[in-house]
């Protein structure tokens, strides 16, 4: 299902709510309230039952953030690199690539740094928080080569609506439609039980689909090498 924009979602809400297709003006109180409700739905999806959504795994390479600009290559004697603004937590290994050759950097926890003060191992770690942002640190005992490419997978924060053309990673936009519709009906003192049941069902369907593996591919990797990948 293709992503729907904020305006498309709220137009659907309007039609179900008002039973016509005129739509709200984007500056109206109703439209702006709809944006608030829609973002509440998105946040609910993001944290639902501590689900790790496959839709929120992305790579540094594919990030197109321009403000602030992302540094995706190493500079000699520079050991800290700012993470994307939507960064939430890393996946596993960080990689640097030089001339087609990949170097793997083990990601450790910040509390392990003190015991590795003199280590020559290829490790890195992340520090920061949602408020201040995150930073990637490489072991300062290792010589870095200018121009080597940095890449890693990371779990991102979900995208919320800020403009009429905004989209989000929520895979089924009709969950947002029915959540917003239920909130409007609830605020009006109307019966919203059917709409609530609908958004709960859609939300649970997304969770179940997220748990479903690929056809003809087993979930476990039977053997791994020292880097944690299948042999």
What is the per-residue pLDDT across 32-58, written as a single tens digit (0 to 9) for each? Answer: 999 999 999 999 999 999 999 999 999
Backbone angles phi, psi at 209, to 5 degrees: -60, -35
Q: Per-residue confidence at 227, pLDDT binned at 50, 70, 90?
A: very low
Expressed as residue numbers, the domain containing 46 is 6-54+159-210
Question: What is the total count of domains within the chain?
Answer: 2
How does pLDDT run across 151-171, given as a tens digit for each residue?
999 999 999 999 999 999 999
The answer to the question of residue 222 being in a domain is no
Starting from the edge strand earliest in sequence, which strands make up the sheet with 57-59, in order? 57-59, 153-156, 87-90
104 found inside a domain: yes
63 Rama class: left (phi>0) / alpha (psi -120 to 50) / beta: beta
Structure-token pair, residue 67: 């403000």
Predicted pLDDT at 79: 98
Same structural domain, 112 and 177: no
Asked whether residue 226 carries a pLDDT value surpassing 50, the answer given is no
Residue 176 clears pLDDT 90, i.e. is over it? yes
Task: Give the CA radius of gyration of the chain.
Answer: 22
Largest CA distance in the chain: 70
Supply the DSSP string of 51-109, one letter for each residue.
---GGGEEETTT---TTTTPP-B--TT--EEEPPTTEEEE-S-EEEEETTEEEEEEEE-
> What is the per-residue pLDDT across 99-121, written as a single tens digit (0 to 9) for each?
999 999 999 999 999 999 999 99
Q: Are 183 and 69 within one domain?
A: no
């Amino acid at each position: 299902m293709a992503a729907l924009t904020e305006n498309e979602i709220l137009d659907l809400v309007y039609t179900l709510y008002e039973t016509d297709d005129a739509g709200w003006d984007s500056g109206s109180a109703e439209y702006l309230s709809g944006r608030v409700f829609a973002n509440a739905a998105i946040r609910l999806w993001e944290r639902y039952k501590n689900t790790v959504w496959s839709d929120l795994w992305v790579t540094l390479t594919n990030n197109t953030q321009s403000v602030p600009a992302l540094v995706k290559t190493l500079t000699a004697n520079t050991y800290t690199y700012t993470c994307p603004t939507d960064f939430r937590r890393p996946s596993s290994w960080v990689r640097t690539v030089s001339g087609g050759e990949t170097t793997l950097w083990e990601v450790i926890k910040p509390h392990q740094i003190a015991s590795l003060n003199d280590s020559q191992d290829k490790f890195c770690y992340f520090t920061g928080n949602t408020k201040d942002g995150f930073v990637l640190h490489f072991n300062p005992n290792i010589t870095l080569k200018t121009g080597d490419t940095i890449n890693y997978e990371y779990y991102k924060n979900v995208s919320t609506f800020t403009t009429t053309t905004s989209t989000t990673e929520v895979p089924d936009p009709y969950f947002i439609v029915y959540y917003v519709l239920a909130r409007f009906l609830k605020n009006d003192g109307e019966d919203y039980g059917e709409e609530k049941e609908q958004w709960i069902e859609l939300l649970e369907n997304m969770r179940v689909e997220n748990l479903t593996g690929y056809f003809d591919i087993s979930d476990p990797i039977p053997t791994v090498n020292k880097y944690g990948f299948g042999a």
